[in-house]
Amino acid sequence: MITIRTILAALAALFLLAAAPTSAHDVKAGDITVIHPWARASSGMARSGGVFMTIANDGSRAERLTAAHADIAAKTMLHKTVMDGNVMKMMHVKDGIAIPGEDSVELKPGSYHIMLMGLKAPLKEGGTFPLTLTFEHAGSVTVEVKVMKPGAKTMKHD
Q: Which spans of this chain sit near Cu ion (rule: CB under 5 A)?
A: 79, 90, 115
Q: Dihedral of CA 88/106/53/154: which sign?
A: negative
Q: CA 48 to CA 52: how far, in whole Å?
A: 14
Nearer to Cu ion, 40 or 79 (CB): 79
Nearer to Cu ion, 78 or 155 (CB): 78
Query: Residue 90 Cβ, how far from Cu ion at the closest point, in Å?
Result: 4
Burial of 107 (0-12, 13-18, 19+ CB in 10 A): buried
Query: Residue 50 Cβ, how far from Cu ion at the closest point, in Å?
Result: 6
Nearer to Cu ion, 53 or 115 (CB): 115
Query: Residue 69 Cβ, how far from Cu ion at the closest point, in Å?
Result: 15
What are the DSSP calls for 52-76, one per residue?
Answer: EEEEEE-SSS-EEEEEEE-TTEEEE
Minimal CB distance residue for Cu ion: 79
Query: Residue 151 Cβ, how far from Cu ion at the closest point, in Å?
Result: 16
Residue 66: name the closest of 93, 92, 96, 94 by CA. Answer: 96
Nearer to Cu ion, 49 or 138 (CB): 49
